[in-house]
Amino acid sequence: MLNFYSYSTRMVNTRRGVMECLESAVGADTSKIDLLIWHASIGHDFQDLVDASRELAPQARVVAASSCGVVGREGVSESMKDIALMAVEGKEFAIAHCDDLNGRNAYVKCAEMAQSLKEQDPNVTMVYFLGSGIDTANDRCIEALEDVLGKDVTIFGATSSDNMKGMVNYQAVDEKVMEHGAYIVGFSDPTLKVETQATHGFVAVGEPMVVTKSDGYLIQELDGQPAWETYTERLGLTASAEPGDTIPIGALAEALPAEAAQEYGNDHILRAVTHRKGHEMQYATEIEEGTKLWLTKRDEPLIFSEMDRIVRDIIDRMGGRTPVAVFHADCLARGRFLFNRIIKEELVGKMQFPFCENGACPPWLGMYGFGEFARLGGENEYHNYTTALYVLYR
């Protein structure tokens, strides 16, 4: 049976941060821990992070990813030197990883990872996925995992990020550090269940742009014109802008079917542009020609009311059971880049408090990344600009 422990800190020295998290989460004796899951801001050296982990807990597997800040049971922090840990005790898990993941090979790479996971442990019921937030077709990642592991396996997790520049992000497994990789952790503890849900709280505005030329996950033309120039012009930016300039203001909305929209609390699902190549925009999923894309604006009352709603929905589906761990992915644009610190901490408080028992928050590992995985309409889905909660319980 798996047990979970967490801690987060803001620490300039990477090794000291690893030591503090381990000691505070599990105590001086780390020998009982079998898996360390790290999120750390881009200011840390990830080779130092995994090296320190392997030295201090040599028996444990290690996975890690970069983020634009972390959320733990201690609260939220978005400095360049954040570290957060979820430590796992127990053997009912398996790990697979790949390097050089991109939008062209996403299906093949993820299918290979899923097959490796299945061979290690055919009883996996849920998968924690963490991949590169730049240059990936995330819908193809989901498709590959489902084709090998089955659609009943719940996929949750995120895509790693930097400090919203869209320049570099990191993933690590054991001693290996990657910039365009991914890892999956499959949990097979038969006593565990997971509930996932996401919400964004943005509204579509104006007339849509139409994708008139695309190639897989690349948008080449919008409204018959070069995509990047058309997109930035609609945002009031020059074509010399970089993706990092567009992320806070440039969420793109795709219309949802009516039933999914009702569950989502929104008529649209959002997508971020985290990279470009000349006139082409690298979308977060594959996109068909003819797709309509709206610009959006945030609706702060809606963000708060929808957060309350998804927490109530998850608690209702848990049927009174107590969470044993919460994984949490938040879009980096919902952090300090859109909210001041008071509102941000209030939002995190509203999501954590209902899961507390006798005033104690369950083990909690959250990150600010480029995208989130959570179910929608009973199916695994990739999201952008959301808060996504993944509650594990017995």
User: Which of 250, 279, 297 is a domain's end point?
Assistant: 297
Same domain, 13 and 104: yes
Same domain, 167 and 225: no
- Total number of domains constituting the chain: 2
- 3-class secondary-structure state, position 93: strand
Same domain, 192 and 246: no
Q: Give the count of beta carbons closer than 10 Å to the beta carbon of residue 148.
A: 17
Same domain, 66 and 192: yes
* Cα separation, 316 vs 270, whole angstroms: 26
Of the ranges 183-197, 237-251, 342-356, which is most confident? 183-197
Write the pLDDT tens digit of every residue in 176-191.
999 999 999 999 999 9
Same domain, 130 and 81: yes
* Cα separation, 361 vs 72, whole angstroms: 9
Same domain, 121 and 248: no
**Among candidates 142, 120, 129, which has minimal Cα distance to 188?**
120
| 346 confidence band (pLDDT: 50, 70, 90) | confident
Same domain, 59 and 76: yes
The pLDDT value recorded for residue 298 is 86
Same domain, 218 and 316: no
Write the pLDDT tens digit of every residue in 8-67.
999 999 999 999 999 999 999 999 999 999 999 999 999 999 999 999 999 999 999 999
Cα separation values, 215 from 141, 280, 290, 348, Å: 17, 10, 12, 38
Same domain, 212 and 355: no
User: Which of 247, 264, 297 is a domain's end point?
Assistant: 297
Same domain, 331 and 187: yes
Write the pLDDT tens digit of every residue in 271-320.
999 889 899 999 999 999 999 999 999 888 898 899 999 999 999 999 99
Same domain, 133 and 216: no
Same domain, 110 and 38: yes
Q: Are 214 and 289 in contact (CB under 8 A)?
A: yes
The encoded tokens of residue 176 equal: 């290996």
* Cα separation, 250 vs 233, whole angstroms: 11
The pLDDT value recorded for residue 64 is 98
Domain that holds residue 266: 202-297
User: In the predicted model, what is the mean pLDDT of residues 153-172?
Assistant: 91
The encoded tokens of residue 288 equal: 């068909």
* Cα separation, 297 vs 122, whole angstroms: 44
